[in-house]
């Protein structure tokens, strides 16, 4: 996941969120309401677990709202979505969930609309692209909580050894640089992780750099468009087919394995997100970052990724959920979360503050890409099925015996069928 929010303390105070609240559905003392929340863990161990962050936020909120208790359970990313799904299936949905997807629950009528929960200043402050991505049939249910974008990372030492003086800005330059890196014995001139871990992300980055994407302007799937076929034909012929992507077949290379190889100094170039910075720095790898190259210059946009906050109707705690979420989206809390986990704010005001603060200089290039980034079509309930199919099949498009047009046509047919069943 990903990014934070904005300074709305004054607005929140003006709306009276510091007042104590009592309500029905009590689970604490007389008149008290206890909100149950499930959240994802952005840490990499007990020392920086998100549980600590949420415990502190909940404690601060409870001091200002003595009638409301907040009980937060944090789970790893490998478990959290399944945990919430199991709770919903049992009829015991949490009041609040901060997880990877919301659209299935919205389509089932289980979620509050964002406008039913948030104050107007808070809801209006979300970055427009993230607001749109949080909508199902033009109604916002998913509230962005964390976000990130992608840039091209390159190893400065390997570039210098290969005589490369500038980072690539186009596909032609990228392929040329990859050939120079290979000639110097670099193991992965360009790492292309189309394995199951994050194939939908890597795929979308390349489709965007080729001038298209997963959907058209009205949201209809276009996976087998002419531009998308040309993109994967270029990858197959000019990178994979010329042995410029390393010893592991792209369809078998996971993102974290590619990141690990970059941090070992084995990768010349790859597409990466903010967490790669710290990983590479820990290993002493000096790197550069530039916007993704496109066909004839920088790509029109890059991939944006968001994780989602949602409020379930199950226990009827609309007012209390709204008060807590207004508090969560206060600048101080948002920027604290950003600092801990190197993620980007999801609101305009927090983004502006981050851009102006030298403390966040290392995230500035990612931040600059966020407003125009393209997100997965997460508002479609069919997206989960399409994403799973991409993970399973897209690597076949760049195999030596692969047929990009055939693979993308198969994916398009599956996507269209899934969409018609929505």
Which CATH number characterizes residue 194's domain?
Answer: 3.40.190.10
Distance of CA 106 to the CA centre of its chain: 19
pLDDT reported for residue 298: 87
pLDDT reported for residue 193: 97
Residue 129 pLDDT level (bands cut at 50, 70, 90): confident
Whether pLDDT at 16 is above 50: no
Question: Quick one: average pLDDT of 399-406?
Answer: 97
Residue 301 pLDDT level (bands cut at 50, 70, 90): confident
Counting the structural domains of the chain, the total is: 2
Same structural domain, 77 and 134: yes
Same structural domain, 199 and 256: yes
243-299 pLDDT tens trace: 999 999 999 999 999 999 999 999 999 999 998 998 999 999 999 999 999 999 989
Whether pLDDT at 101 is above 60: yes
Same structural domain, 358 and 399: no
Taking the C-alpha atoms of residue 16 and residue 232, their distance in angstroms, rounded to an integer, is 54
| 2 within a domain of the structure (yes/no) | no
Same structural domain, 271 and 406: yes
Residue 348, Cβ neighbours under 10 Å: how many?
Answer: 16
Same structural domain, 205 and 159: yes
- Mean pLDDT over each residue of the chain, to the nearest integer: 90
Same structural domain, 270 and 388: yes
Same structural domain, 257 and 395: yes
Nearest Cα neighbor of 142 from 96, 101, 84 is: 101
Same structural domain, 250 and 311: no
| 133 within a domain of the structure (yes/no) | yes
| 375 within a domain of the structure (yes/no) | no
Same structural domain, 392 and 345: no
104-127 pLDDT tens trace: 999 999 999 999 999 999 999 998
Same structural domain, 32 and 163: no
| DSSP-derived secondary structure for 52-114 | HHHHHHHHHHHHH-TTEEEEEEEE-HHHHHHHHHHHHHTT---SEEEES--HHHHHTT-B--H
Same structural domain, 341 and 279: no
- Which tokens sit at 247? 């010893």
Same structural domain, 156 and 144: no
Best-predicted range by mean pLDDT among 2-6, 204-208, 379-383? Answer: 204-208
pLDDT reported for residue 2: 35
For the chain, percent of residues with pLDDT exceeding 90? 75
| 3 within a domain of the structure (yes/no) | no
Q: Which domain holds residue 342?
A: 9-148+305-369
CA distances in angstroms from 198 to 171, 255, 303, listed in the order given: 22, 6, 12
User: What is the biggest distance separating any 2 CA atoms in the chain, rounded to whole angstroms?
Assistant: 74
CB 360 within 8 A of CB 374: no
| 4 within a domain of the structure (yes/no) | no
| 318 within a domain of the structure (yes/no) | yes
């Amino acid at each position: 996941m990903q990014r934070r929010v904005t300074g709305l303390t004054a607005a929140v105070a003006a709306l009276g969120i510091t007042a104590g609240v009592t309500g029905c559905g009590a689970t604490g003392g007389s008149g008290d309401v206890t909100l149950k929340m499930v959240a994802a863990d952005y840490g990499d161990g007990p020392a920086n677990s998100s549980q600590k962050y949420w415990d502190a936020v909940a404690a601060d909120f409870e001091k200002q709202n003595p009638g409301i208790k907040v009980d937060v359970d944090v789970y790893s990313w490998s478990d959290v979505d399944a945990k919430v799904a199991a709770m919903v299936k049992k009829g015991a949905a949490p009041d609040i969930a901060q997880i990877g997807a919301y659209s299935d629950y919205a389509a089932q009528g289980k979620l509050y609309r964002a406008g039913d929960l948030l104050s107007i200043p808070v809801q209006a402050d979300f970055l427009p692209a993230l607001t749109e991505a949080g909508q199902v049939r033009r109604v916002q249910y998913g509230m962005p909580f964390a976000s990130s974008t992608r840039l091209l990372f390159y190893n400065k030492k390997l570039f210098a050894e290969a005589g490369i003086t500038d980072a690539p800005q186009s596909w032609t330059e990228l392929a040329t640089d990859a050939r120079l890196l290979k000639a110097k014995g670099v193991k992965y001139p360009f790492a292309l992780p189309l394995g199951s871990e994050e194939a939908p992300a890597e795929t979308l980055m390349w489709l965007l750099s080729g001038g298209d994407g997963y959907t058209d302007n009205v949201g209809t799937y276009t996976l087998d468009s002419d531009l998308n076929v040309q993109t994967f034909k270029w990858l197959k012929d000019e990178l994979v087919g010329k042995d410029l992507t390393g010893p592991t077949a792209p369809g078998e290379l996971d993102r974290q394995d590619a990141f690990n190889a970059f941090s070992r100094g084995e990768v010349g170039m790859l597409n990466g997100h903010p967490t790669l910075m710290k990983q590479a720095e820990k290993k002493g790898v000096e790197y550069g970052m530039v916007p993704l190259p496109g066909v004839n210059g920088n790509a029109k946009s890059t991939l944006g990724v968001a994780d989602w906050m949602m409020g379930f109707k199950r226990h009827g705690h609309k007012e209390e959920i709204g008060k807590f979420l207004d508090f969560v989206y206060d600048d101080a809390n948002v920027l604290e979360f950003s600092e801990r986990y190197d993620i980007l704010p999801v609101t305009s005001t927090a983004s502006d503050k981050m851009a102006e603060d030298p403390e966040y200089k290392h995230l500035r290039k990612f931040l600059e890409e966020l407003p125009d980034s393209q997100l997965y079509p997460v508002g479609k309930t069919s997206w989960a099925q399409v994403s799973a199919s991409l993970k399973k099949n897209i690597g076949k498009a760049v195999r030596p015996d692969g047929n990009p047009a055939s693979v993308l046509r198969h994916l398009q047919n599956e996507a269209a069928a899934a969409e018609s069943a929505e």
